[in-house]
Structure 1
Amino acid sequence: MHEPTRTARTGKLPPEGPRTNQRAEPRPGTAAWWLARESEPARQRRRRSLTLDAVLDAAMALLDTRGATALTMRNIAETLGCTQASLYRHVRNREELVTLLVDRALSVASSVPPDEADWVEKAAWSARLFREHLRRHPGVASLLRGTERLGPNSLAGMQYSLELFIGAGLSPRLASAAASSLATFILGSVHLNLGLDRSDPEESRHLRLLYRSRDPAALPLLVQHADTLAEVTSDDEFEVGLNALLTGFRALTQNADIAPG
């Protein structure tokens, strides 16, 4: 049995257990992680042709075609024809990859609307654009659950929303809450309708038959309005909710002196 090594300076045994000065790596996506990533020196990248953008492009293509479960470092490396070690020069793990991928996908949220629109029209334009983007890339919507959205593109989108709502007369606190509630509504509307096509005539026909076949004593309104209810699409639902939210925000701006926050 070997004797434990003593330190050269003091001749004493080193303390047992984990070092107290070691800190855990911040979780990807947190404010601490983004700050640490921005302050660290550029990583060595031996294969110059492989860039972070190329990695994220491959990840997005994989996400669109095969879904979030296929988004692994091995699959991305196979798509790019490189080793997994090459990927780790850009991201440390899948969690970092997802964090960066989601932030880049959110860049559409700060796209510039038409200049002639007022703040309500600009908010509606941006909301529709963001929803359509998520519908084209449904895998992104699934990755947004529980994320903190603190990356550069996410913060640019937040800046844009704050400019709209503070410019309309809301306090910074209310403007932030309004922007978050609008984003939550958009994400919820997309999540709720993933994999559904309410505009499909066959689906409408089946809905009509289903509603009509219910017990009118138990579900009288479904039976009575079967034809109308079967024609309601996810676009109808989204537009009603969007209009209700923006109408409420406009009311807050008109009563800014009595609104909380």
Structure 2
Amino acid sequence: MTGRRRWSTEEILDAATTLLRTGDAESFSVRRLAAELGTDSSSLYRHFRNRTELLRAVADRILLASMDGHRPEGDWRQRITLLARRLREAFGDQPQLAAIWGRYGSGGTGSRLVMEELLQALRASGLPDREIPARYHRLVVLLSALVSSEAGLSGITATEYEQAMEQFRVAVLGADPERFPALAHFAREIRPLGADRPAAFEEILDAHLADIQARLP
């Protein structure tokens, strides 16, 4: 009698990544993943102690891929901007995985590589060491939010996007000027949330880095 196949850690992560591309972290379970692999949950728990550890490993894999071949270039602002673009690209077509990074974080090699590059870049800026941890934390929160938000747009179809744009136009252009005077005033200039995300990403990040630079000794 032939026993069940033994899956490697990498194969389990491959399957989990595929499953998460079509679902979300809330509906993800080790039992469901085991069913996809044709095995039982206990065989997966030999590799990962629990669901959260597995999700963190999936997120770390993306971070590791984003750092593959990375070489620091330019001054501290250019280094952080380059890293941000790499993270955005790595998570770009995997919105659920971007959300997992923002929610669960990661303690693996990929995470440490990202942390090291950000901390080195902030040190190169001339910030006093005592201020770097807080600045690092704010920067990571900003990046995870921007990446997760932008990646989410790639998960909707062209039809869904157009329907959302139409609803936006109706809601804004049809706003009652007595109840929503400011909205009615700016209605033709207000842009929907999904419009021109790459430019917004760059501008928000640049404004944050400019604030750091303005506070340098």
Percent identity between matched residues is: 28
* Superposed CA offset, 1:96-147 (max 9, x none): 2123222223224545556653321221121122133334222223323553
Is the 1:208–1:230 contact (alpha carbons within 8 Å) kept by the matching residues of 2?
no
SS of the residue aligned with 2:104? Answer: coil
* Superposed CA offset, 1:77-112 (max 9, x none): 222233333222212222321232222232245455
Query: Are residues 1:94 and 2:55 paired?
Result: no
Q: Which residue of 1 aligns with 2:141?
A: 184
Once the 2 structures are TM-superposed, how far is the Cα of residue 50 of structure 1 from its aligned partner? 2.1
Match of 1:237, as an amino acid? A
Give aligned pairs, total.
Answer: 208
Once the 2 structures are TM-superposed, how far is the Cα of residue 179 of structure 1 from its aligned partner? 2.6
- Equivalent-residue separation in structure 1 for 2:132 and 2:54 (angstroms): 30
Question: Which stretches in structure 2 are left out of the alignment for 5+ residues?
Answer: none
Once the 2 structures are TM-superposed, how far is the Cα of residue 207 of structure 1 from its aligned partner? 2.3
Tell which deviates more after alignment, 224-233 or 242-251. 224-233
Match of 2:209 among 246, 249, 261: 246
Q: Which residue of 1 aligns with 2:190?
A: 229
CA distance 1:115–1:132, change in 2 (3 Å): closer
Q: What TM-score, normalized to structure 2?
A: 0.78
Once the 2 structures are TM-superposed, how far is the Cα of residue 190 of structure 1 from its aligned partner? 4.3
Question: Which stretches in structure 1 are left out of the alignment for 5+ residues?
Answer: 1-45, 257-261
* Superposed CA offset, 1:19-42 (max 9, x none): xxxxxxxxxxxxxxxxxxxxxxxx
SS of the residue aligned with 1:230? Answer: coil
SS of the residue aligned with 2:33? Answer: helix
Query: Are residues 1:63 and 2:20 paired?
Result: yes
Once the 2 structures are TM-superposed, how far is the Cα of residue 214 of structure 1 from its aligned partner? 1.2
CA distance 1:148–1:192, change in 2 (3 Å): closer
- C-alpha RMSD of the superposition: 3.0
Is the 1:62–1:76 contact (alpha carbons within 8 Å) kept by the matching residues of 2?
yes
Q: Which residue of 1 aligns with 2:116?
A: 159
